[in-house]
Structure 1
Amino acid sequence: MATYVENYHDWLRDAHAMEKQAESMLEKMSERIEHYPELKARLAQHLEETRHQQTLLQEVIDRNGISNSTLKDTMSKMMAFGQAMGGMMTPDEVVKGAISGYVFENFEVACYTSLITAAELAGDPAGAEVFRTILKQEQAMADWARDHLPQVTEQFLRRSAAPDTEAKK
């Protein structure tokens, strides 16, 4: 049983760091987007959901009497910053950002799916319910990203083909 709990606690710390990374990525991308209002609005909405998810995760962490991993949180923020900087250097920033966002959302879906099982086996059914709530939000964002990727791509291609029109963001 101790192994279940130890892994569960490690994965809670990972989830906390993952949400910190998501927050940084969403902030950077939504700040830079200028010509894609629907994408910008959805990113802003998901940024608020992400901040609320961090609060929910912190409550589960506190209830389980474990500490956050400052190192993991810091490394996640640095990774998000690196991703944002790398994206800024490409002429198709908005498309690459939309693709990366879709991939990251699916990563989060997988993590919360796993965390639900871990919480149940570690004896934390309340945590499992929190993760089910978060999972629904992450799945909704992943679905939205998938469904709107063609639109973002088309908008970018049309803007990039138009003379004197910025398309990258």
Structure 2
Amino acid sequence: MPPSQRLSSLGLMLPTMRVPVGNFIMARRYGDLLFLSGQGPTTADGLKMTGKVGAEVSIDEAYGHARLVTLNLLAAIDAHLGSIDQVDAIVKVLGFVNAAPDFGDHPAVINGCSDLLIDIFGKACGQHARAAIGAGSLPSGITVEIEMVVGCRA
């Protein structure tokens, strides 16, 4: 089943790709790689998920925020390549968690992204290299920011 159909079978839809808020683009293709700019957990109506994970935001809530970020990243892929079905492999995920100073379970939060990617693309295409990093702050106080590198079909 193609990734776009798996997405639908999960009851999920891609949002409209967000417009950059600075002097950058959301995606840049170089050869067979597509580099995606970092995105945060913003809903279709522009609501940003904010707060410190491990303080006022739970791991489960932040896991959901990472899933939301993933849908935003997939929207950028879809807009740039014409379809998420053009992804050959998820190569790398880099996740940042706006964490309380004593929080140490960053990987559990970024699993929200990794788990969804495997659900949509399967293990062969969806498994990826990854880093999950704690940050003292993120833009606008968002809980999670994730960037990604994907391999594309020609």
TM-score w.r.t. the length of structure 2 is 0.30
The structure that is helix-richer by fraction is 1
Higher relative contact order (CA 8 A, sep 6+): 2
**Larger Rg, first or second structure (1 or 2):** 1
TM-score w.r.t. the length of structure 1 is 0.29
